[in-house]
Copies of this chain bind each other. A is one copy, B any other.
Amino acid sequence: MLALIISGVAVTRAEIARHTGLARSTSSQRVDALIAHGFIDENAEAPSTGGRPPRRLSLRTDGHAIAGVDIGASHCRVGVLDMRGTLIAAREDSLTIANGPEAVLGHVERTLRTLLETADGSRTLRAIGVGVPGPVEFSTGRPVDPPIMPGWHRYPIPQFFEDRFGVRALVDNDVNVMALAEQRRAFSGTLHLLYLKVGTGIGCGIVADGRIHRGAQGSAGDIGHIRVGERHEPCRCGNSGCLEAIAGGAALAARLRESGLEAAGSLDIVQLVMEGNQEAVRMVREAGRAVGEVLSGLVNFFNPETVVVGGALAAVHDQLLAGVREAVYRRSNPLATHVLQIEPSRIGENAGAIGAGTLALEHALSPAQVDRTLAKDAAV
């Protein structure tokens, strides 16, 4: 019913009854419940020339809020979205994820309360979405052996938020929600999209047929340890020739330091490239080729319409994407690259918060969840 109203397919009580095939009285009862719980508004049209003017139903954008939280290795961004998915407030802070869940989530809680009060005190929080930089068992929202999140293994993140805000919290891997944000907000004509995050590590978010593909254990998109052609660089995983050991920001910075340059991480590499340092430019372009070589296989396998490249190194996307495109067009099957677009991120730094919020928003507006909300409130 909400989907019909949001899409504009049915916006009056008569249209809703016709489209759902529900009995007129059942349909109207449900419309009343959606209004009572603040999901939708019913307003008179501009008066017509005669008779009672039809009343239009529309999604209520004020009154409610959705939180989108993007937790990175060394930062945390908290956003508040309205019910159409528009970001209405956001704040980023430096924060060390290795401080553990209580410290980090406590900070998120305080930031979110502040944002909700200052943004618009009259909004009721409906759901929370959280993206974290590690594998997550999506059904429970618990991280699973996340390599850069010490202390977070199986920590019940949803419970933390549900205890404090009384709403459902959904947790996912950060690249998954970034892929969702790009697909929903920037490339909405695209059904099959890959989001490559090229930063300290390398990961991939997958949207298949408009939905996040997480795979059997939620580890889909973990492409950092796919082997690159004839390379043998040793990797921290114990194998050699892994994509991350060749093209990840940490590996590039280490190699730049060997050349006597100062480079602690991805941001320094970006700085060097922007200053025109030839060694750094060459290295980023070469990293792009390695990413492209792995991507060419994934393009053959998955046949996406769009590949979005984000992450810290995408700040120098002229150099990075040149290498990526070169390798993909050299190796991929022509049918698969025929209309393929390989583009830098269009959403940029807010992709994680917007994506996490979008995940929560779509959950809050899903029929099963709306049913549950109406039933719960009715029981009170």
Task: Find chain B residues with CB under 8 A from A301 CB.
Answer: 204, 206, 220-223, 226, 298, 301-302
Considering the complex, give the chain B residue whose CB is closest to the CB of A226: B297
A325 at the binding interface (Cβ < 8 Å): no
A47 at the binding interface (Cβ < 8 Å): no
Interface string of A285-312 (1 = CB under 8 A from B): 0000000011011101111110000000
A333 x B303 contact (CB < 8 A): no
A229 x B226 contact (CB < 8 A): no
Bound complex: CA A22 to CA B330 (Å): 56
A331 at the binding interface (Cβ < 8 Å): yes
Bound complex: CA A145 to CA B333 (Å): 12
A331 x B239 contact (CB < 8 A): yes
Bound complex: CA A39 to CA B360 (Å): 39
How many chain copies does the complex carry?
2
Q: How far is the CB of A186 from chain B (nearest CB, A)?
A: 17
Q: How far is the CB of A162 from chain B (nearest CB, A)?
A: 26
A219 at the binding interface (Cβ < 8 Å): yes
Stretch of A125-133, A207-215, A342-350 contacting B (4+ beta carbons < 8 Å): A207-215
Interface string of A331-368 (1 = CB under 8 A from B): 10101101110000000000000000000000000000
Task: Find chain B residues with CB under 8 A from A227 CB.
Answer: 229, 293, 296-297, 331
A336 x B219 contact (CB < 8 A): yes
Q: How far is the CB of A226 from chain B (nearest CB, A)?
A: 4
B215 x A333 contact (CB < 8 A): no
Considering the complex, give the chain B residue whose CB is closest to the CB of A241: B229
B216 x A191 contact (CB < 8 A): yes
Contact of A217 among B135, B239, B298, B336 (CB under 8 A): B336
Task: Find chain B residues with CB under 8 A from A217 CB.
Answer: 303, 335-336, 338-339
A144 at the binding interface (Cβ < 8 Å): yes
A317 at the binding interface (Cβ < 8 Å): no
A275 at the binding interface (Cβ < 8 Å): no
Contact of A226 among B23, B223, B300, B340 (CB under 8 A): B300
A26 at the binding interface (Cβ < 8 Å): yes
A260 at the binding interface (Cβ < 8 Å): no
Closest 7 CB pairs of A and B: A215-B303, A23-B23, A220-B303, A216-B305, A226-B297, A219-B335, A230-B230
- Report which A residues bind B (CB closer than 8 A): 21-23, 26, 135, 144-145, 191-192, 204, 206, 208-209, 211, 213-223, 225-227, 229-230, 239, 241, 293-294, 296-298, 300-305, 330-331, 333, 335-336, 338-340
